[in-house]
Amino acid sequence: MSHRARSVTDMTTPQPTLDDIGEPLSSTTFVVVDLETTGASANTCEITEIGAVKMRGGEVVGEFQTLVDPGAAIPPMIVALTGITDAMVTTAPRISQVLPGFLAFLGDAVLVAHNARFDVGFLKAACRTHGYEWPGVEVVDTLTLARRVVTKEEAPNRKLGTLARVFGTRVTPNHRALEDARATGEILHGMLERLAAYGITHREDLDALRSFVPREVRSKATMADKVPTKPGVYIFRGPQGERLYVGTSKNLRSRVKSYFTRAETRGRVKDMVSLAVDVDVIVCPTAVEAAVLEVRLIDQWRPRYNRRSTRPERTSWVKLTEEPYPRLVLSRSSNGEGIALGPMRSAADANLAIEGLQQALGVRTCRTRLPITPKPGASACILKDLGACAAPCVVGADSDYQQTVGLVREALSDDVSVVVDRLSATVTDFAANEDFERAADLRDRISAVVDGSVRTSRLASLSACSIVAVRRVDDCWELLSTNRGTLAATRRVKAGVWDAASELRTAAAQLDVTTALVEEQHLILTWLTTPGTRLLYVDGTWASPVTGAGRYSAWVKARDDDRVATGSTRWQ
């Protein structure tokens, strides 16, 4: 069966384990913080008190409180508001002494504050001033949450005291840091209970709270509850079971839920989200396998709301026409007789490459299909007089055009140095004459020719061999095998690399190879050319398990020398 009719990975979705689902908010550690200060500006004012409450599952597991000597008099208005006087902070530690203890108390917990911009701004400013690194923890602002879950009928404003009455907190805010932090913690717990009904149930969902999402969309987030947190492909389905959209992610659960918990700006995706009623997922061992599977499924199914990868037939190539006196054309396929330059990045790049080849080699630009023997009375265009065309239209087989065609074929298949040398000399002349606009245009043509040649060489080399490669990813070894440019399988292992490589080689040998999609080949090449990647097997030759030395295929030559990483020689 063709690989387009069958995915790399078994289409069966395994039952997710508790570890797959992510960290529930009931198990997440929050540190709710409140500050009292000498004023509103973190640049000119100082902290006078820090209060923090560590919570997990709605229960308090620790508290942190201290007054802070601001090093200056506290304004009378602040004294009246907070009750903190100069006499109270005279013997208190300075903020430089307080920060280490507070940062240790915070750890990697989620930081919570009411109007978090104010509190976090002061803490970051203090860290900068005294040489401490801000930990960059997740931040939840209960003021922002209140705007999402508390209606105007419930509360005329979003002040801390008002919210405390709405949620019936046991602690009443009083402009002292610890009491306000305790009240904020109770308010947080009450709002998270409300948000659970809209799919905000896990730690990775917290980022979504910064965006406004309609309630009817947010309520669909529960369809991600059973999706694992592993790499793979997701398929949204509509009311009739139709496939609406195919995507991929390193964390399936987080990505699927994000469609319903974050404000979506893409019109097509907004329409898809409004129709989606279910989601299927296919777990893959690696992100590259998931990306390849996504490309294959989009090509196979052509989902209504996918835009990328849905038209592989629109890929651009530069080819010679099949006629007695060929000319260069943009083609949507590399199939058929002859050779082609590409795939090009775009049709615009293909046209630039055509213009560059025409200018450098004298390929005819007229679109007329010429007879082998010129017609009596045939006349040439001005390009013949300018020396830019061998004019087979009037000279016929006696012209130098066949030599020109030979140079073009060489440039399309292997070597563009002649084209680059000739055009570069012209660029130099233009620049010397301060004709910079024409020099820039010609530079773009050179770039298009060279880029097309590199892409041609890389894909041709990949398609000519079978490969097993490995690289270190996090705490695992990630392996990949290909057969003639088609992905066969991938693995992630912590040990037993050579055993896994042998299995992948067998899988590649048994693969029913068909012409791989260009986008699939580019995904494979991107993985192979990532620094740290090592080849274990290339066309019948295994690398040494001791030294890691092996035979590199031709595609490596197209890779920049500085990207060939040595990697580790210990595979197991």
- 343-355 pLDDT, tens digit per residue, is 898 899 999 999 9
Looking at residue 375, its pLDDT comes to 78
- 16-40 pLDDT, tens digit per residue, is 444 445 688 889 999 999 999 999 9
Over residues 509-536, the mean pLDDT reads 90
Contact (CB, 8 A) for 318 and 331: yes
Same domain, 43 and 167: yes
How many CB atoms sit inside 10 A of residue 569's CB?
Answer: 12
Rounded to 5°, angle at Cα 382 from 377 and 383: 110
Query: Is 276 domain-assigned?
Result: yes
Looking at residue 74, its pLDDT comes to 96
Inform me whether the pLDDT recorded for 549 exceeds 70: no
Contact (CB, 8 A) for 74 and 203: no
Quote the CA–CA distance of 133 and 444 in Å, as a whole number. 45
Task: Give me the residues paired with residue 344 across strands.
Answer: 316
Same domain, 76 and 194: yes
Query: Is 569 domain-assigned?
Result: no
Same domain, 186 and 50: yes
Query: Is 277 domain-assigned?
Result: yes
Q: How confident is the model at residue 362 (pLDDT cuts 50, 70, 90)?
A: confident
Same domain, 187 and 244: no
Looking at residue 489, its pLDDT comes to 95
Quote the CA–CA distance of 346 and 527 in Å, as a whole number. 22
* Ranges 202-211, 290-299, 352-361, 560-569: which has the least confidence: 560-569
Domain boundary among 310, 340, 364: 310
Residues in the chain: 572
Domain boundary among 460, 475, 494: 460
Active-site residues, by number, are 175
Q: What is the 3-state secondary structure (H, E, C) of 533-552?
A: CEEEEECCEECCCCCCCCCC
Same domain, 477 and 435: no
* Ranges 206-210, 252-256, 260-264, 505-509: which has the least confidence: 206-210
Rounded to 5°, angle at Cα 395 from 391 and 397: 105
SS3 content of the chain, % helix, strand, coil (to 5): 45, 20, 40
Give the Å distances, CA to CA, from 302 to 206, 247, 314, 518. 33, 12, 14, 16
Helix, coil or strand: residue 468: strand
Report which DSSP code applies to 539.
T
* CATH for 284: 3.40.1440.10
Query: Is 437 domain-assigned?
Result: yes
Contact (CB, 8 A) for 221 and 200: yes
Same domain, 428 and 377: yes
Looking at residue 534, its pLDDT comes to 94
Task: Give me the residues paired with residue 112 across strands.
Answer: 32, 140
Query: Is 547 domain-assigned?
Result: yes
Over residues 316-341, the mean pLDDT reads 82
Q: How confident is the model at residue 333 (pLDDT cuts 50, 70, 90)?
A: confident
Residue 516, judged by CB atoms within 10 A of its CB (0-12, 13-18, 19+), counts as buried
Looking at residue 198, its pLDDT comes to 72
| Beta-carbon contacts of residue 166 (< 8 Å; ≥ 6 apart) | 150, 154, 155
* Ranges 79-88, 174-183, 364-373, 478-487: which has the least confidence: 364-373
Contact (CB, 8 A) for 392 and 370: yes
Looking at residue 329, its pLDDT comes to 92
Helix, coil or strand: residue 53: strand
Give the Å distances, CA to CA, from 564 to 338, 421, 501. 33, 28, 21
Helix, coil or strand: residue 107: coil
Looking at residue 450, its pLDDT comes to 94
Residue 304, judged by CB atoms within 10 A of its CB (0-12, 13-18, 19+), counts as middle
Report which DSSP code applies to 326.
-
- 208-240 pLDDT, tens digit per residue, is 666 667 778 878 888 888 899 999 999 999 999
* CATH for 110: 3.30.420.10
Mean pLDDT taken over the chain? 85
| Beta-carbon contacts of residue 492 (< 8 Å; ≥ 6 apart) | 285, 286, 473, 476, 477, 478, 479
Closest to 220 (Cα-Cα) out of 269, 280, 277: 277
Looking at residue 254, its pLDDT comes to 87
Contact (CB, 8 A) for 234 and 227: yes
* Ranges 318-322, 332-336, 536-540, 567-571: which has the least confidence: 567-571
Structural domain count, the chain: 4
Place of tokens 């590259």: 288
Same domain, 78 and 184: yes
Q: Do the bridges between strand 476-483 and strand 466-473 make them parallel or antiparallel, or are there none, so unpaired? A: antiparallel
Same domain, 47 and 68: yes
How many CB atoms sit inside 10 A of residue 356's CB?
Answer: 29
Helix, coil or strand: residue 496: coil
Tell me the two tokens of residue 382.
């001005």
Over residues 440-451, the mean pLDDT reads 94
Closest to 520 (Cα-Cα) out of 306, 280, 300, 307: 300
Domain boundary among 154, 169, 198: 198
Q: How confident is the model at residue 45 (pLDDT cuts 50, 70, 90)?
A: very high
Q: How confident is the model at residue 568 (pLDDT cuts 50, 70, 90)?
A: very low
Tell me the two tokens of residue 50.
């820090």
For residue 473, how many C-alpha atoms fall within 13 Å in the half-sphere facing its CB?
Answer: 20
Inform me whether the pLDDT recorded for 562 exceeds 80: no
Inform me whether the pLDDT recorded for 556 exceeds 60: no
Query: Is 235 domain-assigned?
Result: yes
Same domain, 275 and 261: yes
Quote the CA–CA distance of 528 and 552 in Å, as a whole number. 12
Same domain, 91 and 32: yes
Structural domain of 500: 464-563
Same domain, 235 and 103: no
pTM: 0.62
Q: How confident is the model at residue 131 (pLDDT cuts 50, 70, 90)?
A: very high
Contact (CB, 8 A) for 127 and 99: yes
Query: Is 19 domain-assigned?
Result: no
Tell me the helices (H) and strands (E) count for the chain, helix number first: 20, 16
Query: Is 572 domain-assigned?
Result: no
- 165-195 pLDDT, tens digit per residue, is 999 999 999 999 999 999 999 999 999 998 8
Same domain, 145 and 193: yes
